[in-house]
Structure 1
Amino acid sequence: MPLTRLIYVSTLSKSCDSVALKDILHKSREHNITSKITGLLSHNEKYFMQCLEGSREEINRTYNYIVNDPRHSKVTIVYFEEIHSRQFGDWSMGDVPQSHLTSLLNLQFSGSDEFKPYDLTGQSAYLMLLELKQHLPSE
């Protein structure tokens, strides 16, 4: 089964607080280990931007679950491709909350220092996540 990379953005619901976020990360990591999915999540209090890498079948199954999760809405694919190797293989789900570092990267890859993932091109989203991964320890 071919490897794929999918990046989506979404808007968090009002009920998605820090407790819900911890739950999402915990369950995602468990699911991703079992499903052989790797990836990276960047977020603030309004938005998610997440990269998932794995088999096409598992990525499709996981994405369909994400689309139907009521903790976020406006789930939009911004980047999808078949790949030869993983770029985010060190994490079942790396987590990068917005910070001073991410503000600088937002400015580098978009027209603003604010995290507005819907305004990014797919390529910019991918490049930003690659930069963010440089600042994460391996799991």
Structure 2
Amino acid sequence: MKSQRQIVYERAEAYAKTNLKKISVAMGEYKGNKMCQHNARQSLEEGSATHIVAALSFVPKSGVNIHFMPVIENKITDNTLGYLSKYNTYYLIKEYHPKDLINIHMTKLLDSIKDEYLGLLFSPEERAKHNITKEHI
């Protein structure tokens, strides 16, 4: 029997390959703190990043995540997963510039993207049947 993360991974991978742009990501600092939304925003606020992106990050043998990364020197840079990012596959969801993030709480933005993508990938009935929550993406 497949886990919820496997089910979400397979559905998201099919969606991403058809509807999203695959992107290259540069290895950045390893923070490993599961706070990508805040790490990316910090780079933006400090001025090292011009903007940030939200992406689907496919992690082999683990699952898929909504992942935020800063764009530093024209490179999308993973300053959360660092060296681990070289094993992942990424698809661009959206770019956010400073003007887009005025008065935006990053964790609420992350949660809203999770809700949006689970809604795109699964009907409410499918989510209930498989017990899929925001923790699975």
Q: TM-score range by the shorter chain?
A: 0.3 to 0.5
Query: With structure 1 as the length reference, what TM-score do the two structures score?
Result: 0.36
Query: With structure 2 as the length reference, what TM-score do the two structures score?
Result: 0.36
- From the CA coordinates, give the structure whose radius of gyration is larger: 2
* Structure ranking higher in helix proportion: 2
